[in-house]
Amino acid sequence: MAITRLGGATAITGTIPQGNIANTSLGAVTALPGAIATGKVLQVVQDTKLDRSEISVSSAGTFVDISGLSVNITPSSTSSKILVQAFVNGSQNVGAAGGFFTLKRGSTEIFRGDAASNRQRATGNLASYSNAYINGNTPVFLDSPSSTSELTYKVSVCSDGSNTTVYINRGSSNNDNASYIAGASSIIVMEIA
């Protein structure tokens, strides 16, 4: 049997007929093939807060947004889920009531405990009662916003006492020596297909 050797780049030439191509350009692709599994990370957005701040809380249970700790994300599909992860360092003034924090999408609290009599509904504690020191917390929540509009995710704090101060990235005692922390906080959101 004879073997024919084809040479170089000119071995095969021609054009695939237009009718044999499902999408003529990458821009024309409107959906992924069914064989591609879901659960993929489509985009990731992060914000960090590295400075220290004080937040005055005027009344018990009033949540105040942490300035400089929020992210915006625009889901590509209404079926996408948004994985939210925050790391929050906080404390409250000595002898004051405990501090709490909650995760929000816009003005909506998205991850908090069920109503339980007079207890404050929140995502978690910033610090225990009368604790002057800083506590770090890492809540993780998978949100289902069913939206393709821009969404803002953020962290808000409150106290269970009136006219108290919540401290972010520092303890309430803020002496300038190596025994006191200059902390960091962050929030990360991921769109999951």
Contacts of 93 (CB under 8 A, 6+ apart): 132, 164, 165, 167, 172
Residue found by looking up tokens 């625009």 in the block: 74
Return the structure tokens found at 159.
């106290």
Residue found by looking up tokens 């009662």 in the block: 129
Which pLDDT band, with edges at 50, 70 and 90, does 41 fall under?
A: very high
* Res 35: pLDDT: 56
| Torsion region of 22: left, alpha or beta (phi above 0 gives left; psi -120 to 50 gives alpha) | alpha
Regarding pTM above 0.85, the answer is: no
* Res 18: pLDDT: 60
Which pLDDT band, with edges at 50, 70 and 90, does 29 fall under?
A: low
Residue 28 has φ and ψ, to the nearest 5°, of -85, -5
- Contact predicate 148/78, CB 8 Å: yes
pLDDT single digits (tens) 98-133: 678 899 999 999 998 898 988 878 888 876 555 556
Q: Which fold has domain 48-173+182-192?
A: Jelly Rolls (2.60.120)
Domain range list for the chain: 48-173+182-192
Q: Which residues does residue 73 pair with via DSSP β-bridges, in sequence order?
A: 151
Predicted confidence (pLDDT) at residue 148 exceeds the cutoff of 60:
yes
